[in-house]
Amino acid sequence: MNTRNIAIIAAIVIVIVAAGLYAFSASNSPDTSKLRISTTTSLEDTGLLKELEAAYEKKYSGVDVQVVSGGTGIAIQYGERGDVDLMLVHDKTRETKFVNDGFGTNRTEFAYNYFWIVGPADDPAGIKGLNATEAFKKIAEMGQANPDQVKFVSRGDDSGTHAREKKVWNSSGIDINKTKGSWYVESGKGMGDTLIIANEKNAYTISDSGTFLTFTKEGKIKLVPLVTAGKDLLNVYTAIPVNPQKHPKTNVDGANNFVNFLVSPEGQQIIANFGKDKFGQPLFTPVPTNPVPALIMPILSAPVPA
């Protein structure tokens, strides 16, 4: 083979290798025109995320925010698989594990409200005026004694709300797996659907305050809030970008931009005002721009249980 032919073959090989490297690089590059977010049903059902999304897309023109909502457990699964770039969730124990396991880069708390224990206006279990653990004890006691009169509907879906429910049962000294009977109903659905089921069954449930107020205002439910305060009911929302070291195609710049937007004066103002015109009160409280009540400040900074 003469020198000329060798040079031609070498040039062809270089072109093929370069094309392959380019294709490999392109296939592993993030699509910065899209920002994929997994979120809890509460942020979606209340409409807050829709408003934040619109403002973000206006600020970052050319970026299409794509949202999938479900329970926190489902949202975290999306993050672990690299199906999303950012998670907006509310379960500190699992959030911290997600970051410690290398799936997320960091946690940023951007808003909070409270879980409420809600139920029928006639309050057949007599929980009004009790704290969360006392209320759960009373519901379990009365539910076992009078399952036709006292019922509790659980989301049962591994969501952040479901995790909080289980935590309150544990704090009440109740093993719900051993105690539950016909009075305890698992919906396996999101917050809105669970509230509707509880309303149909004239039952108690635990809900984030935002979704409850939204569904009440829209006339979908007639349940009333019965226990609405206390450290056991604090509900903090957190943003976590997916780690590009685990998933190279993650749009980490877009995710970080969205997190920075959430805690910016513009984003925090949207959160602070959301719901005021419709409900006469905001559905969420922004974390950085409002002093956190002394009651919950230690909770926000407390270490996560092992």
pLDDT in tens, 171-220: 999 999 999 999 999 999 999 999 999 999 999 999 999 999 999 999 99
pLDDT in tens, 220-248: 999 999 999 899 999 999 999 999 999 99
Q: Looking at the structure, tell me whether residues 141 and 221 fall in a common domain.
A: yes
CA distance 117 to 227: 5
Q: Which of 45, 103, 32 lies closest to 71 in space, CA to CA?
A: 45
Q: Looking at the structure, tell me whether residues 137 and 203 fall in a common domain.
A: yes
Last residue of a domain, one of 184, 215, 233: 233
Q: Looking at the structure, tell me whether residues 210 and 285 fall in a common domain.
A: no
pLDDT confidence band for 4 (50 / 70 / 90) = low
Q: Looking at the structure, tell me whether residues 104 and 249 fall in a common domain.
A: yes
The CATH number assigned to the domain holding 153 equals 3.40.190.10
pLDDT confidence band for 9 (50 / 70 / 90) = low
Q: What pTM did the predictor assign? A: 0.79
Indicate whether 303 pLDDT > 60: no
Q: Exposure of 55 by Cβ count < 10 A (0-12 exposed, 13-18 middle, 19+ buried)?
A: middle
Structural domain that includes position 172: 114-233
Last residue of a domain, one of 182, 214, 233: 233
The confidence score (pLDDT) of residue 300 equals 39
Indicate whether 21 pLDDT > 70: no
CA distance 269 to 266: 5
27 assigned to some structural domain: no
143 assigned to some structural domain: yes
Last residue of a domain, one of 233, 255, 281: 233
Q: Looking at the structure, tell me whether residues 106 and 118 fall in a common domain.
A: no
The confidence score (pLDDT) of residue 23 equals 35
Indicate whether 118 pLDDT > 80: yes
Domain tally, the chain: 2
Q: Is the pLDDT higher at 73 or at 201?
A: 201
The confidence score (pLDDT) of residue 15 equals 42
Indicate whether 2 pLDDT > 70: no
What are the two backbone dihedrals, phi and then psi, of residue 225, each rounded to the nearest 5 degrees? -75, 135
254 assigned to some structural domain: yes
Q: Looking at the structure, tell me whether residues 105 and 130 fall in a common domain.
A: no
Q: Looking at the structure, tell me whether residues 106 and 124 fall in a common domain.
A: no
Q: Looking at the structure, tell me whether residues 103 and 121 fall in a common domain.
A: no
